[in-house]
Amino acid sequence: MTFAYASLVTHQLFRTDPRDMSKNNTSSYLDLSVLYGINETQQDLVRDKEKGRGLLYPDVFAEDRLVLVPPAATALLVLFSRNHNVSIFTSFTS
Q: Catalytic residues, which ones? A: 11
Q: Is 32 left (phi over 0), alpha (psi -120 to 50) or beta?
A: left
d(CA 7, CA 3) in angstroms, rounded, equals 6
- Name, in order, each residue with C-beta under 8 angstroms of 73's C-beta and a sequence gap of 6 or more: 3, 4, 5, 7, 8, 66
Residue among 25, 24, 88 at smallest CA distance from 54 = 88
